[in-house]
Structure 1
Amino acid sequence: MTSLHAKNALLPTGWASNVLLQWNAKGELTTVTPDTPPGNTPKTAGPVTPGLPNLHSHAFQRAMGGLTEFRGATQDSFWSWRTLMYQFAARLSPEQVEAIATWLYIEMLEAGYTSVCEFHYLHHSTDGTPYADDAELSKALLRAAHTAGIGMTLLPVLYQTSGFDSTPPTAGQRRFIRSTDSMLCLLDTLKPLCDAQGARLGLAPHSLRAVPPDSLREAVAGLHAIDASAPVHIHIAEQTAEVDACLAWSGQRPVAWLLDHAPVDARWCLIHATHMVDTEYQRAAASGAVAGICPSTEANLGDGLFDMPRWRGAGGAWGIGSDSHACVNAAEELMLLEYGQRLQFRQRNVLASTDHSQVATATLLQAVAGGAQASGRAAKGLAVGQRADFCVLDAQHLALAGLAAPDMLSAHVFASHRTSALDAVWVGGQQRTRQGRHPLHDAAAAAFIQARTQLTQG
């Protein structure tokens, strides 16, 4: 048993004082008791908040940061960005993928993420042929997560076509392609590896344009034959061109088609879901699925803005992902989410709730709950039976010093000048950062720089 005492801690019901936290050897919280004298229990350096699950990550894209910020067409868009991404992905080696992911996961920990859902679609060698070990790149990501010490939900991606009408894949997609049988074999291989590491295994049908209906049905059924509670993530309705193409193919919008043709429920995460009409918001929320919102990437790619008040009004669950990792900062994603809603509706404090008037408190609690659901992990916050995944704010940080605990969290999200106001991050009861820094920071950063240099100058 290990213990900490927090003068203030953000529990699922709200802020509490003098909270005793205890966890067992499995990293599960066994005691979360407010109004408890500290005694001889070690004390935290500031308020304790739940760790945020990052529900959408393409790890290799971290090494692309800054490389697509130029106009390469008369009008740049997601689709022109995707061409550059394919060119970058075509060059990556397993060693480079592992180095990039290890650094990224360390960045995530230093930025307040305690687990990650890795939407993994880079499966094969550069010419599209399988590696001798078909799971080589999946194993590289598992090793990276283990080295960093972050919780992992591995989501191998099923990718088969380049359009809604079963258009054959392009040369740029050759590293992604798998048959449904091949995917199910990969899942069988990965399940014991994930179990041994304490990771979770799920499936990511890439999108409706990349997975034909029969394959979608068979793959999801095959996954749930392996693990009935396994998470399913899918890109959906990210771009208006995607919506138009789906309408031309089926006569339905993407989210409506998915709800009519797939067993969407609380195991599913709808990534982006940016472009929905009211009936889709209502039906998708009622299904129990989580909306996976990625504010910095959606801004970077020009996707558009999700209507969060409409989704929350329908009772929808949601979480946060850093996706292409133009930004790796949990607090900044929450800030961007709120600011996008302010710009959209020309109001302030849009995402405060009836239970919590502080936007940072309301959004963090909801993002933690939705992110945990999407990850398939017991990471829903500071409660008995959940993972001991939490962050300690630095009460002496210039932006936070002298404030009450709820205001410290607000200052961390909205007023820390994007510098980290985190003192420590714990995952499964293990301290992963001290004074805002991971012990492998320097070594992992050097390996990342070497890999990126090879890719950009080789």
Structure 2
Amino acid sequence: MTSWHAPFAVLPEGVRARVRITTEADRIVAVEPDTAPHDRDVRLPGLLLPGLANAHSHAFHRALRGRTHGDGGSFWTWRERMYEVAATLTPENYFALARAVFAEMVLAGFTVVGEFHYVHHAPDGSPYDHDAMREAVVAAAAEAGIRLTLLDTIYLTGGLDGSGYRPLDELQRRYGDGSVTAWAERAFADRVETPTVQVGAAVHSVRAVPAEELTAVRAALDAHGIDVLHAHVSEQVGEVEATQAVHGRTPVGLLARAGLVDSRFTAVHATHLSESDIAGLGRARAFAAFCPMTERDLGDGIGPARELLDAGARLCLGTDQHVTIDPFAELQALEGHERLRTLERGRLTPAELLAAASREGYGSLGWDGGRIVEGALADFVAVRTDSVRTTGSVPEQVPQTASATDVTDVVVGGEHVVADGTHHLGELGALLRRGLAPWSGQCVDHEPGTNDTGGPIP
């Protein structure tokens, strides 16, 4: 057993002072507020938050940060740049990049990530032995010390416009499995799950999976016992217009008709929703994963967060293309965008915002976490209350003033992954430089085919 002690902690009943948390293996076995610290306690500073969830990530998009702003363009031109990076991924360089990105997440306070994984095959579409791209992501998360839900993504067509579905183009060939059956067999038949890894599923979008195949997706998930399903939904106006032109329904309506919208479903972005979409997601108690910093960066728009909550849907947060990796920036932008959209303050309470960043994100990814309570996963995050950003904030509102740089300690499954501001992999700047080297033009400082400890890449 390990005991941890913090001056303040956010518990289900609110912020309590002088809190001891006892963990055994990967679970919390006791929570004791109003206790004096013991010599045996691991002392954590500031405010202790429950584990924070990144419900939507594309790890390889991190290679685009700070490299897409010089020529304007649109979401669609940005997407072409993204495809160019995806075309150069190998199991080896994907492992190095994903490990650095996942470590950056943990250092920022994220304790679990949902990786929306669709780069499955070699560039010519041929399969790797042993699903090497999936293995690279899983190994990267394990080394970085983050809990992972691998959202294995089905991607069958190259887009949808008024004339119907387009075939996969040359750059998209490595995403596709050819059929729902082939995708499910590859993704789920021999899946390996561990105490820190789960396998879920994703429909890339209604542009990438024909309507007539969506019912087969539902059957495949049920047959393989997959309970977590995500999909990009209504991120762009063009997507909604094309779906309505071809099918006479919105993307949410199309997914609902196939039986995919239920309490296990997460609509990623959910930006351009109709009133009936909002009502349907609410009735289903579905999740909506907003990625405010990405949606701002790409000019996607601002989704109806308050209306979704009021309808009964559950909000969570993701970093998507990693324009920044900061759970507090996403949380603050969720409320800030609501204020800009409605010209009103206080659209979401501090408790609702923290729930989106923690408990609801864990639920979206299929984990019992994001709470500091007996029996829950031993995932929690210590945040400074005395930094230049947080000094003077009441504890309940520290998440509204903090940034990722205020995180001092991160515990995942009872393991002290970040201690006193240092990740267990060491200095992450060097790790990121190595991971990004194939796309940044920087030199790597280790031999090809090895990691930076000199060992073979898994």
Is this a same-fold pair by TM over 0.5?
A: yes
Relative to structure 2, which stretch is displaced further, 287-296 or 334-343? 334-343
Match of 1:175 in 2: 174
* Shift in Å, 1:55: 0.4
**2:421 is the alignment partner of 1:436:** yes
Give the Cα separation in 2 of the matches to 1:115 and 1:376: 11
SS in 1 for 2:374: coil
Match of 1:415 in 2: none
SS in 2 for 1:397: coil
Give the Cα separation in 2 of the matches to 1:266 and 1:90: 35
**2:192 is the alignment partner of 1:208:** no
**2:136 is the alignment partner of 1:137:** no
* Shift in Å, 1:94: 1.3
Match of 1:448 in 2: 432
Which structure 1 segments of 5+ residues have no match? 353-358, 413-417
* Shift in Å, 1:189: 4.8
- Matched AA of 1:434: A
Give the Cα separation in 2 of the matches to 1:306 and 1:188: 32
**2:357 is the alignment partner of 1:367:** yes
SS in 2 for 1:203: strand
* Shift in Å, 1:66: 1.5
- Matched AA of 1:11: L
Match of 2:159 in 1: 163
* Shift in Å, 1:384: 1.7
| Pairs within 5 Å for 1:246-261 | 246-261=243-258
SS in 1 for 2:194: helix
* Shift in Å, 1:39: 4.2
**2:14 is the alignment partner of 1:14:** yes
Q: 1:409 to 1:452 in 2, by over 3 A?
A: closer
Which structure 2 segments of 5+ residues have no match? 443-458
* Shift in Å, 1:376: 0.3
CA deviation string 1:2-43 (max 9, x = no partner): 111223211133212232211211x11111233334344523
* Shift in Å, 1:421: 1.0
* Shift in Å, 1:83: 1.2
**TM-score under structure 1 normalisation?**
0.91
Q: Determine if contact 1:190/1:201 at 8 Å carries over to the other structure.
A: no
- Matched AA of 2:407: L
Match of 2:23 in 1: 23
Q: 1:298 to 1:267 in 2, by over 3 A?
A: same
- Matched AA of 1:421: D
Give the Cα separation in 2 of the matches to 1:403 and 1:288: 33
Give the Cα separation in 1 of the matches to 2:219 and 2:30: 38
* Shift in Å, 1:263: 3.4
* Shift in Å, 1:332: 0.7
CA deviation string 1:182-220 (max 9, x = no partner): 2222223552x2x23531111111111111234322233
Over aligned residue pairs, what C-alpha RMSD do you find? 1.9
Match of 1:356 in 2: none
Q: Percent identity?
A: 34
**2:37 is the alignment partner of 1:38:** yes
Q: Determine if contact 2:31/2:373 at 8 Å carries over to the other structure.
A: yes
* Shift in Å, 1:456: 4.4
Match of 1:355 in 2: none
Give the Cα separation in 2 of the matches to 1:327 and 1:56: 13
Relative to structure 2, which stretch is displaced further, 232-241 or 218-227? 218-227
**TM-score under structure 2 normalisation?**
0.91
One of 235, 257, 262 as aligned partner of 2:259: 262
Q: 1:32 to 1:102 in 2, by over 3 A?
A: same
* Shift in Å, 1:59: 0.5
SS in 1 for 2:423: coil
| Pairs within 5 Å for 1:40-439 | 40-42=39-41, 43-71=43-71, 76-133=73-130, 135-164=131-160, 165-178=164-177, 179-191=179-191, 193=192, 195-196=193-194, 198-228=196-226, 230-352=227-349, 359=350, 361-401=351-391, 403-412=393-402, 418=403, 420-439=405-424
SS in 1 for 2:159: coil
Q: Determine if contact 1:322/1:333 at 8 Å carries over to the other structure.
A: yes
SS in 1 for 2:113: strand
- Matched AA of 1:51: G
Q: Determine if contact 1:23/1:388 at 8 Å carries over to the other structure.
A: yes
Q: 1:139 to 1:309 in 2, by over 3 A?
A: same
Relative to structure 2, which stretch is displaced further, 401-410 or 145-154? 401-410
Q: Determine if contact 2:339/2:346 at 8 Å carries over to the other structure.
A: yes
SS in 2 for 1:5: strand
* Shift in Å, 1:409: 3.4
- Matched AA of 1:302: G
Give the Cα separation in 2 of the matches to 1:196 and 1:420: 30
Q: How many residues align?
A: 437
SS in 1 for 2:231: strand
Give the Cα separation in 1 of the matches to 2:239 and 2:168: 16
Q: 1:447 to 1:380 in 2, by over 3 A?
A: closer
- Matched AA of 1:33: E
Give the Cα separation in 2 of the matches to 1:23 and 1:291: 31
Give the Cα separation in 2 of the matches to 1:50 and 1:453: 34
- Matched AA of 2:204: H
SS in 1 for 2:140: helix
CA deviation string 1:258-292 (max 9, x = no partner): 22222321111110111112221111111011001
Give the Cα separation in 2 of the matches to 1:60 and 1:255: 27
CA deviation string 1:93-113 (max 9, x = no partner): 211111111111111011111
SS in 2 for 1:123: coil
SS in 2 for 1:116: strand
* Shift in Å, 1:251: 0.7
